[in-house]
Structure 1
Amino acid sequence: MKDHTRKRHIAKTITWRIVGTLDTILLSWLITGNPLTGLKIGFAEVITKMILYYFHERVWFSINLSEKGIIRESRKRHVLKTFTWRGVGTLDTMLLSWLITGNPLTGLKIGLAELLTKMILYYLHERFWYRINYGLPNRN
């Protein structure tokens, strides 16, 4: 069963990165009016997001919040982790957009638009994966 869930997590990771990158490309294109700029931001983000996500996971793995009254695997921990990741991800998008376009206001617009769209898309992505059984052999 462990191999099945690992495959599920890998598939979820890949599908989310695809959805997230397409969202960034589309938003960047719409905001800048330039499809090439959208592609540049989206593809740069794939690399930076993987690096940042790895370090985010390592930091959260090393934090022991049970000493502070929050159980290590609690919903509070997951909510905090979700918000910190969204903050890191949005900041990354804003900085990349600023660097690629040369305009800090454009970076801010893309980051703020992404903040809303990513939350909606992530919810829909999670609902989709909740409904399918891939990687869950014992689920009815």
Structure 2
Amino acid sequence: MADNSRKRHIAKAITWRVVGSVDTFMLSWLISGNPLTGLKIGFAEVLTKMILYYFHERAWFRAKVENSKKRHLFKAVSWRMLGTLDTMVLAWIITGDPYTGLQIGATEVLTKMVLYYLHERAWYQINFGLDHRTNKELK
């Protein structure tokens, strides 16, 4: 299962980054009042988040946590902490204002926690990159 799991984690990283970047762009635009600032922050985090997400997936793949809704909730929390820190730093660097970075980060905690949980649940139903899965694992 390990060989195919890398393809799965790359695919998950790409789909999540699309969802996450659109959310970051919209929030950054709304908070800064400038669509160009939203685009800069949204695009800047594409690379950093793809790399961070891949390693987060690899770590959770090796984790000995039961496959369940609770596991997805824990993954959502750990990812959001890492992702929010990354967004806050990028927004601070791009805008030159640490308060704007904090505002964007604080707002995205809420939106992205919900979006990430839904993304995890959707991917949990997809068998792409898995050699096999039992009906018990889908619960």
Provide the TM-score with structure 1 as the length reference.
0.71
C-alpha RMSD over aligned residues:
3.2
Aligned match of 1:11: 11
Q: Which residue of 2 aligns with 1:44?
A: 44
CA distance in 2, matches of 1:81, 1:2: 19
Q: Which amino acid aligns with 1:74?
A: V
Alignment-derived partner of residue 20 in structure 2: 20
Match of 2:64 among 54, 73, 78: 73
What is the aligned partner in structure 1 of residue 102 from structure 2? 108
Unaligned runs of 5+ in 1: 62-71
Of structures 1 and 2, the larger Rg is shown by 1
Q: Deviations over 1:91-124 (max 9, x none)?
A: 1111111111122111111000111111100111
Deviations 1:29-69 (A, max 9, x none): 111111110110011111222344466678x58xxxxxxxx
Q: Please point out which of 81, 87, 111 is paired with 2:81.
A: 87
CA distance in 2, matches of 1:56, 1:121: 17
Determine if contact 2:40/2:94 at 8 Å carries over to the other structure.
Answer: yes
Question: Aligned AA for 1:120?
Answer: V
Aligned 8 A contact 2:13 2:53 in 1: no
Quick one: distance in 1 between partners of 2:73 and 2:10?
21
Give TM-score, length-normalised by structure 2: 0.72
SS in 1 for 2:64: coil
Give the counterpart letter for 1:32 in structure 2.
Answer: S
The alpha-carbon distance between structure 1 residues 31 and 84, as it changes in their structure 2 partners (threshold 3 A), is: same
% same residue: 70
